[in-house]
Amino acid sequence: MQQVDVLIIGGGAAGLFCGARAAQRGRRVHVIDHSKKPAEKIRISGGGRCNFTNLETEPARFLSENPHFAKSALARYTPWDFCDLMAKHELTWHEKTLGQLFCDQKSGAVIQMLLDELEAAGGQLSLETSASDIERVDDGFEVRTSNGSVHCQSLVIATGGLSIPKIGATSFAYDVARQFGHDIIDTRPALVPMTFTDAYRDAFSSLSGVSVPVEAQAQSGPGFVENVLFTHRGLSGPSVLQISSYWHTGEVIAFDLLPGIDPLDWLRSAKASAPKQTLAQLFATVFPSRFADYLVWELGFERTTRLGALSNQQIDTLAQTLNAWELRPAGTEGWRTAEVTAGGVATDALSSRTMESKLQPGLFFIGECVDVTGWLGGYNFQWAWASAAAAAEVA
């Protein structure tokens, strides 16, 4: 049986980083992953350029049953700490928008950096290795893997969430958590496009590719001022991905189609100054023309309807709809395209300082498998780095 200090199951973002940091403390570390290649989600992230952190990281940008849980780890390992590591490896980055930092080199360079850190510190990585039975023993854990059994003092579970099963996502972390008495907060696909049926599906499909700046809002959670993108199946784009994390089946979502503009003033003054202008022409001054035409139809008017023909009551109703266009999605595209998993290992039985189980000393859960879900824009990697660093201090 192989003897190590720390066995990490899952060689993704959190697992590789935790392995490197624990090994730097002088711990004998072995990271195993069942895939052929490590950290495939880093590879496909950020359109191949890995949005590796966000400068606006703060606990309020993470969803969890316990909104305080992420505070300690995020405060102790910041976006700048990861930037320092990138700089040490001569990697460069740029801010795209809203504090989102992307690697100038390809995502593969970030993976290589993590692998180099692990190797330099003497950590071992075994790919195409899966774990089956985990047994608690007096001085740690015995784990049966497809390459033999391993005894470890500390066992770190870093197998991520359920999104994108075709690149190796499994429910392993939740199964281990349940085995050792932890609760799981219901998991659901998050940062995921939303789907519609019937007339809306047909309409949105015909608008496929059109993008409109909006403020999107689910029934709970903050509003997000970003673009909505029409797709063949429904709606996507950053604003919709963001609110998908807060949305529950059956709920309505609302779009302010003119964020920052008072639609009542806008409609009234347009009617007063250009009564012969059609509603479609007015809408085309602020929306892409395909969406402008669709909106006129959706609101029950003709393409030829002139502003002068609108009654005050019609203008009031129009303004209300422009302010809060309400839609009820049929669902989401699910695990196939979700960027992350909301929910996961309940935080009440984990130490927020170290990610260690309060029920089973020596057992740790880090990264996406924990019930901490970041907004779109680099927050999920920052959670992976910060939770990994927290565990690596003591594992």
Ligand X SMILES: Cc1cc2nc3c(=O)[nH]c(=O)nc-3n(C[C@H](O)[C@H](O)[C@H](O)COP(=O)(O)OP(=O)(O)OC[C@H]3O[C@@H](n4cnc5c(N)ncnc54)[C@H](O)[C@@H]3O)c2cc1C
Which positions lie near ligand X, rule CB under 6 A? Answer: 9-15, 33-35, 38-41, 44-46, 50-51, 130-131, 158-160, 163-164, 168, 170, 172, 339-340, 367-368, 378-381, 384
Rounded to a whole number of angstroms, the minimum distance from the CB of residue 57 to ligand X is 10
Nearest CA-CA partner of 291 in 203, 193, 224, 198: 203
Residue-level length of the chain: 395
Nearer to ligand X by Cβ, of 172 and 196: the residue is: 172
Rounded to a whole number of angstroms, the minimum distance from the CB of residue 371 to ligand X is 12
Burial per residue of 23-45, b for 16 or more beta-carbon CB atoms within 10 angstroms, e otherwise: bbeebbbbbbbbbeebbbbbbeb
Rounded to a whole number of angstroms, the minimum distance from the CB of residue 168 to ligand X is 3
Nearer to ligand X by Cβ, of 119 and 293: the residue is: 119
Nearer to ligand X by Cβ, of 44 and 83: the residue is: 44
Q: Dmax over Cα atoms in the chain, in whole Å? A: 84
Token pair, residue 125, equals 């990585």
- φ, ψ dihedrals at 316, nearest 5°: -60, -45
Nearest CA-CA partner of 374 in 41, 58, 18: 58
Within 10 angstroms of residue 223's Cβ, the number of other Cβ atoms is 17
Rounded to a whole number of angstroms, the minimum distance from the CB of residue 246 to ligand X is 17
Beta bridge partners of 215: 225, 256
Alpha carbon 195 to chain centroid, angstroms: 18
Nearer to ligand X by Cβ, of 196 and 379: the residue is: 379
Determine the residue with CB nearest ligand X.
12
Rounded to a whole number of angstroms, the minimum distance from the CB of residue 394 to ligand X is 19
Alpha carbon 56 to chain centroid, angstroms: 15
Strand order in the sheet with 331-332: 325-327, 253-256, 211-217, 224-230, 234-236, 194-195, 331-332
Tell the burial category of 349 from Cβ atoms under 10 Å away from its Cβ (0-12, 13-18, 19+).
Answer: middle
Can you tell me the distance from the alpha carbon of 173 to that of 195, in angstroms, rounded to the nearest whole number?
28
Rounded to a whole number of angstroms, the minimum distance from the CB of residue 131 to ligand X is 6
Rounded to a whole number of angstroms, the minimum distance from the CB of residue 49 to ligand X is 8
Nearer to ligand X by Cβ, of 163 and 360: the residue is: 163
Nearer to ligand X by Cβ, of 204 and 385: the residue is: 385
Rounded to a whole number of angstroms, the minimum distance from the CB of residue 215 to ligand X is 23
Q: Are strands 131-137 and 124-126 parallel, antiparallel or unpaired?
A: unpaired
Nearer to ligand X by Cβ, of 340 and 355: the residue is: 340
Rounded to a whole number of angstroms, the minimum distance from the CB of residue 172 to ligand X is 3
Beta bridge partners of 195: 234, 331
Nearer to ligand X by Cβ, of 174 and 287: the residue is: 174
Nearer to ligand X by Cβ, of 35 and 72: the residue is: 35
